[in-house]
Chains A and B, each alone.
Chain A
């Protein structure tokens, strides 16, 4: 028995170290995939260890465990395999929410069935609160990302004040439960309040900031897992949870930096709160263009830069874009891609999509390289990007995205904007670029437009 306990402990230890090592390897492109495998291995080892741990005394109930694990594995596996590349941010958000729900459920059972001391109660309530916030928050983030809910539908007047009041209420309720003890009714009330706060917390945050929010909620889930680790006395859970809590926080800050905004600014909902002066400008006329003119322009230029955005992802146009790229290259045009750090719905989103279409890595320029190359570029083609090419970020202090580094596409000789309509981007603000003298609008679905362009270039 002693030997078995030692082996189980060693398995936990190796599992925890695998998490650390896996996360480390995930931070570099060459080793990232190996890192993910290490982390998954660590998780597997930890799960086996907890199944075999002889120090957990009880009826075992392995059928319940195996049943739950089987169902969860199948659903998780299918969801991960079936999901479109474009919908991956949403998927991560859902997964994260389920982890939070898991933590909340565990805490409830723990509080209601165990005779906890004050310290244990504080930690359990904390895990419940954070887990519940991560659950509803992630679900709302998913709905927003998926376009099922728009900011205006869930934002109330004075929402930030409401949130502050809700937070105070939640904390007060928390303290009351700790001091005065809990009943089932009070506990359910606290759960409902926590769930509601999670929803309300995410509601005013602009849709464009959802990646940051998901990263933040991810670290919440980690923290609640760590708190649960304290409850169950599991170092393995503690290490895994805290690692995610800490790295998720850093990642959140890095993402904010990529947008040149503070986390506070994101959480207060800067995007949805401020409209900016440009939005009111309704009289300006944008010039539109067609496939033939654009094809000629592209084919007889010497350098072209594509700027992909979420529109590319929605239209699944990455392969069509690669085809156009190949065709132009074979006609002697130098083709590059400018990748804004927050293009799409998540950092790295565009890189993943273009990689799927086999676009070679050296063709992708990051923000600084792209901006350096833009003045000598003949034609910029913007495929479904908007806020990341908005000049207001540079020159309009009243705009809510003022200060965010953008791609200075107007420095190129010509700009073609592929877009479905004149509607504003995810940040909900108008884009002066569309009315710029160098700009021509090419209306239509991105994939459709690119294919038309490709066939026109072929005909030349």
Chain B
């Protein structure tokens, strides 16, 4: 319990950031037309691929003979990258059609 308390006081600024970002996330989305729900979900999904940054940190700090971390880490990078690239590309494809229609 003490170490948990320690963790909180060590990361206080991050906890502030966390709470304010939650509020921001709610506010940014609260009024969106139904038409855009699918692209928005898809775009948000691409952003959740930000996990790839963690995978890069993991591999960068691993020892070059630590095969366990390297292999799992590069699998994680591959999966994360599919999420990022595929996510943004698919969202763009959806939105491209909205654009074409308007003109």
Residue positions of A touching B, CB distance < 8 A: 19-20, 22-24, 26-29, 32-33, 35-37, 39-40, 43, 46-47, 50-51, 56-62, 64-65, 67-69, 71-73, 75-77, 79-81, 83, 85, 88-89, 91-92, 95-96, 98-99, 101-103, 105-106, 108-110, 112-113, 117-120, 122, 211, 214-215, 218-219, 221-222, 224-226, 228-251, 254-255, 258, 341, 346-349, 351-352, 355-356, 358-361, 366
Contacts and interface: CB of A to CB of B under 8 A. Distances in A.
B74 A29 contact: no
B47 to A, nearest CB: 5
Given A96-B83, A240-B48, A56 B60 contact: yes
A232 B14 CA distance: 12
A92 B50 contact: no
A79 B68 contact: no
Interface of B: 3-4, 6-8, 11, 14, 17-18, 21-26, 28-64, 66, 68-70, 72-102
B68 to A, nearest CB: 7
Nearest to B38: A348
A98 B25 contact: no
Given A40-B88, A68-B59, A352-B98, 19 more contacts: A28-B33, A33-B95, A47-B56, A50-B56, A59-B63, A68-B55, A68-B81, A76-B89, A79-B82, A83-B90, A95-B82, A96-B83, A99-B51, A102-B77, A113-B68, A215-B41, A225-B54, A239-B21, A241-B51
Given A33-B92, A215-B41, A240-B48, A27 B84 contact: no
Given A91-B86, A245-B25, A119 B41 contact: no
A243 B25 contact: yes
Contacts of B62: 58-59, 61, 113
A113 B82 contact: no
Contacts of B76: 68, 101-102, 105-106, 109
A236 B92 CA distance: 23
A114 to B, nearest CB: 10
Contacts, number: 392
B46 A43 contact: yes
Given A229-B54, A242-B18, A117 B88 contact: no
Given A36-B91, A36-B92, A112-B68, A80 B48 contact: no
B40 A80 contact: no
Contacts of A79: 82, 86, 90
The dominant DSSP class at the A interface is helix
A65 B56 contact: yes
A46 B50 contact: yes
Contacts of A359: 101
B38 A36 contact: no
A241 B52 CA distance: 11
A56 B91 CA distance: 32
B22 to A, nearest CB: 5
Contacts of A360: 101
B50 to A, nearest CB: 3
A40 B75 CA distance: 22
A383 to B, nearest CB: 19
